[in-house]
Every structure is written in C-alpha cells, then in structure tokens.
Structure 1
Amino acid sequence: MSDIQIELANINKHYGTYHALKDVSLRIEKGSFVALVGPSGCGKSTLLRSLAGLESITGGTIRIAGEVINNVPPRKRDVAMVFQSYALYPHMTVAENLTYSLRIKGVKKDVARKAAEEIAATTGLTGLLDRYPRELSGGQRQRVAMGRAIIRHPKAFLFDEPLSNLDAALRVQMRKEIRSLHDRLGATSVYVTHDQIEAMTMADHVVVMREGVIEQQGAPLELYDTPANKFVAGFIGSPAMNFVPGTIAANGHEVVLDLPGAPVMELGRQVEANRQVTVGLRPEHLSVVPLDEASLRLPVAVVESTGSMTYVTTATTPELTVVETGRTAAKTGDNVGVRIEPGNVHLFDRQSEKAI
C-alpha cells in the first residue's frame, strides 16, 4: 500500500454564505509532487492555506503523516510554505533569513551557519549569504525563500504560486530548479499555480479545480489524453483545445461538425445516434494541408509565427486554432485545407459537458 503523507477528507470552507471548498478529498503520497491548478477563485490557494493552518476549515479532516492536525497551530504542523511574495526579512542577511527558524528554536549560531552554508550550496546561494534581500535578483530571492523552507526539513513543502513575479525565462529556469530540488530532497510537495504549463511540466500528479471542487486528478498526460469533461479539456493543453458543436450521425459512428463545408467524420467507435455533442480538437492534432487532402476548407484570420511554431487561426464561428511545426505559406485571407485525424477527436455531451 502507498505511503500517504497528506490526506484531506471531505474538506469544506465557508466564508459567510460563500462556499469556497466543497467536500474536497485528496490523498498525497510521500515523496510526490502534486500541483493544484485552476482559474482564479477555484479554491486552490484556500486549500493550500487550510493545509498550512493559515485558514480554519469549516468541516472535514486534515491528516499529515497519519496525524489529525485540524486544531494544530501552523507553527506545529511541520510544513514549510513558499509564497509568491518571497516574504523575506529586509533587515536580515541571506544567512539570517535562512536560519531564522533554527535560531528561534535555540540552535547555536555556528550550527545554524553551517546549515545555511549547506542549503546555500544546494540552492545556488553560495557567495550571497552576507547580502541583504534588496541586493538580490528576483530569482535569488525566490531561492532564499525556498532555502528557508528546506532548512527546516519539514514533512511537506507548500508552494503558493512562487514563480508569478518572475519573468518568463526565469520562470522556466526556476521550474527546473524546484523540481530538481524536490527530487534530491525526496520531499513531498504541494504546488499551487494557475499556469497549467507549470503543473504539466513539474508535477507527478495534477489536481484540476473549479468553483471549490476537484474536477479531475491524475498524471499530467492522463489529463491531457483523457479529460473527464469539457472544462478540463479546455484548461489542460496550450493553446487551448478547439470546441465545435456537432451531431452524431444516424449510424452512430460518424459526427457532423457545425462548420461550413464540414464533411461527415468517422469516429472509429459507436456513440448514441443523433446525440448533440461538442467536438474537441487540439490545435496540435490539426494540420494545414493541400486543399485536395483536407477534411475542411477554411478561411484564415490570423497567422502568428514564433520561428519554431506557427499558429493559424481561422475566420470561422467558432474559430479554430491550428499549430504547425516550423513555417507555413498561409496568409491572412487565404483559404487553407485543414486535416483532422479521427483518432484524436474528443467528444463531450452538449448539456452535461462530460466526456463521452
């Protein structure tokens, strides 16, 4: 049986009449990296803060290492939190910031300094121990915040959108550094982000939340390949999945897209006949092809090239985004052929939005 480090059972949180968390249950294995992801207001930060003890829950049970901690104060929960704002003491040096939690526990100065030097070597802060936060870059400050958490050897690391204040290039670098640290330390990490790319690239297990409930959880590619509903399908993946209304044909194994000139498309499986559906098409599973090889012939609204990738957006309702590797000759106003591979088509019930 898996070693469960954190268990959240039927967690509820009310702010007056607002129900922020609704019977949320989650089991986190020891040593795993779990990402809580979802749009603003979905409850992910509230759940993390409840785990840290910074929010009191209205109902449910929180266990860490098998111990119920509902009424345990934050400082005794043996978790370390890394915030978006770094939360460093400006009047303290890097070494003093790193060792603050040790010093208030009465650890001797020379022992604390040695611990700071070891953490500095792990986090790339060697040579910066005598600087103040104002003398550091954003990435260095975030490393200090992580080092301050690591030095405590907690039962779990809690990250609350720690990379939001960094520029794009530094975010990519720090993603790798945080994951590498997690692996070296054998830590249990819970990471809150609104950025699904961070969640997909860093986590072993992704939890997608919306309006205080867990919509789906699982391995990153499991959520990408088999989303449980239209919300998860649209949230996981970049650019977002295209959605087109459609109707299942009378034979039950073909679908007609609600797009101009759309042909009947083979599904490769049997579905209830005449059912109203939403068809999900990932941009990377579509391709621009010669018109005589195309599933669709569509006008182009926008062509955006990054050099390595080109994004073609069609002038249709709904619009489709196609991701092409490299360059394309397509220009705004052209009619282009778009090919759809039947094996990569996702179907969702039009009313319930659940995957079919």
Structure 2
Amino acid sequence: MTAQIELRNIDKYYGSFHALKGVRLTIEKGTFVALVGPSGCGKSTLLRSIAGLETITSGDIAIAGQNMTGVPPRRRDVAMVFQSYALYPHMTVEENLTYSLRLHGVGKAEARLKAGEVAATIGLSQLLGRYPRQLSGGQRQRVAMGRAIIRNPKAFLFDEPLSNLDAALRVQMRKEIRALHDRLGATSVYVTHDQIEAMTMADWVVVMRDGVIEQQGRPLDLYDKPVNRFVAGFIGSPAMNFLPATVTPDGQGLTLDGYGADRIPLASPAAPGQAVIAGMRPEHLRMAQGPASFHLEVGTIESTGSATYLASADGALQLVQSERADLRPGDRVGLEIDPARIHLFDPETSARI
C-alpha cells in the first residue's frame, strides 16, 4: 500500500501547553482512519494540523508523497467536513457545492454538471435549489460532504461531523459516510469521541490521550488486545470492569480481592502471587449455570428489551445479559467467565501483562 498521509514526530505547543507530543502516524491510501479519545486528547488538533489550519511547532507532514509542512491549507488538496456544517446560508445547495470550483475558475456549465453528479451520489438531486435553512440536519451534513467530494481531494478530513445529529440519524449517517468512502476509494481521517463510531466505521483506529498515540490498529485488535488499561477502558461499551486480584501460588489462576472468590482459572500462566488488575468486559461475564467463580450483589437493573444491564451496588462491576433477567436489587448472582476473556494489567504501570 502507498502512504497517503505521513506524520513524522509532530509536536504542537500552545504557549507552554504541549498539545501533541512526537506523534508519528502513517495513513495508507484508500483507508478509513478514526482518531478517537477523550476531550482534550489532541485528536482535533492533529486533524487540523493535517489540514494546515494549525501550525505545528516541529515535525513534518507529507501528503501524497509531498512535504506539506508550512504549506497553506488551500494548497494541501484536502477537504474538511466540520461538525457545524459551515454552509453559506445565502447560497442554494447547488451554489454551496460549486463554490470552491468557481473560486478556482471552473466554468459555470461544468460546475453545474459536477454539482449534479455529486448531488446524485449523496441523494440530494431534488434539493439543489433549496437553501440550508430549508434542509434537515442530515441533509445539511450531506451538502457539507458533497462540497468536499466535488473537489476530488487527496484526503477527506472529518471533524466530529455527526455530533449535532440525533441518535437514529447518526447511525444512518455513519453508514452513508462509510459507503461513500468505499465508492470513492477515498482516504478518510475521521475524528470522534464516540468509540462506537470509530469501531464500526474505520479500517484503522488510533487511540489518543494527552497528545500521545496510546495504541493504533484494526478495531477488533484493539478490542481483543488493548495495550494498557486506558485503551481497554476506552474501547468497548459498557466499559471494561477492572478488579484488583492476586495470581494464585501456582500461577494458574486468580483470586479477586474483596469478592471472596474461588480460584478463577487463567488461560496462560502468570507470575505466582503477583498483584494484578483483572479486566473483564461486561458482555463476557455470564450467570453461572453451575458453581460460580465469584458473585455480584445486584444494585441496579436496566433492561432494553433485547438486553439486561446489571451493576453491583457499588458500581464497580457490570455485566450485560442478552436475555431478560428476573432479578431485583439486592439479589446475589453467581458469575463465570471464559479464562481466555480475562485481561491482566500491571497495577503500577497499567500496561498489559
């Protein structure tokens, strides 16, 4: 594969604040990459640095093999789709779509032809004469994407484009954005704080914290083998349970601190007697059919009809059941887990063991 975007040791300071810390990232041509992390982690700053909207303090940015460090945004040949749509309210859909072409001297007839082609691609052919105020939120976001598509850029940059939409429309639009990416054979970089968006849309997920890339990889690789407790807790919904535990003297099992638990087998040996943090995803815990590994005293019960969410009274332990559960707060439930589903983390460094 050919590298379409290369970030080499990117540092960004705002005064004394170190927003990006030696970021290195290669984005291959034709891939959909999601930058994900909590607010303030640096993901939007990184995206804006690629676009040229932020001036990096040090490092190099290459796009399609050309060094773009210091090159103004208009000459980077990338298209940005913003959370706020950023449409011109006094222009029709067609005029919004063709604005950038007209700025670059494209003739009126050719611009209209391209606008018609793009509108057909994004399902807006009947709305070319309308103004943004006459459109729904989803339609406005389609116009914003169409304005990016019409330029045929080297990369599409999405800055939390679905944050202003309701839940049902977000699900629909993320499918449309991914389908559009595939049809165009585009290179897309997508910033979101929603790990579900990242997991369902992207080929490659980059998890950031405090200006550093904590882990990057295919979505299911991050889910199955998080490198540390932060990534483990960020990827997955509901979040992973983290329980203090001690490896048994033979190194073949665990006992959970404070749960009076029996020995829980481990899939592979660990250091005998070592104190660890045991990570268990709520969806991997199940109600025991026989002897239980440990127990949960039910604190809260939430049912969506298709699933039941249970949490302990102290909120430290959650599990998800795919069936309805006839339980009440205060009930004691026996739990078990496949040993291969247990993740171990170092209590001091938070790194995966």
- Do the structures match in fold with TM over 0.5? yes
- 1:84-123 correspondence to structure 2 within 5 Å: 84-123=83-122
- Unmatched tracts of structure 2, length 5 or more: none
Preserved contact between residue 282 and residue 318 of structure 2 (Cα < 8 Å): yes
Matched, 1:272 2:234: no
Aligned equivalent of 1:298:
296
What is aligned with 2:319?
322
Gaps of 5+ in 1: none
Runs of 4+ deviating beyond 6 Å: none
Residues 301 and 308, structure 2, Cα contact 8 Å, conserved in 1? yes
Cα offset, 1:289, TM superposition: 3.3
How do 1:1-356 and structure 2 match up within 5 A? 2-290=1-289, 292-316=290-314, 319-356=316-353
* 2:219 aligned partner, one-letter code: P
Normalising by the residue count of structure 2, what TM-score does the alignment of the two structures yield?
0.98
Task: Give the SS at the match of 2:126.
Answer: coil
Amino acid aligned to 2:212: V
1:279 CA displacement: 0.4
1:293 is paired with a residue whose SS is: coil
Maintained 8 Å contact 1:288/1:322 = no
Task: Decide whether the 8 Å contact of 1:310 with 1:326 is kept in 2.
Answer: yes
Pairwise CA RMSD of aligned residues?
0.9
Query: In 1, Cα distance between the equivalents of 2:258 and 2:85?
Result: 49
CA drift of 1:288 comes to 2.0
2:308 and 2:282 map into 1 onto residues whose CA distance is 11
TM-score normalised by L of structure 1:
0.98
Identify which range, 214-223 or 330-339, moves more after superposition: 330-339
Residue 259 of structure 1, CA deviation: 3.2
In the alignment, the residues of structure 2 paired with residue 297 and residue 7 of structure 1 have an alpha-carbon distance, to the nearest angstrom, of 49
Structure 1 Cα separation of the partners of residues 256 and 266 of structure 2: 12
Q: Distance in 2 between matches of 1:268 and 1:116?
A: 57
Q: Tell me the matched-pair count.
A: 353
Distance (Å, rounded) in 2 between the aligned partners of 1:226 and 1:64: 31
TM-superposed CA distance for 1:260, in Å, is 2.2
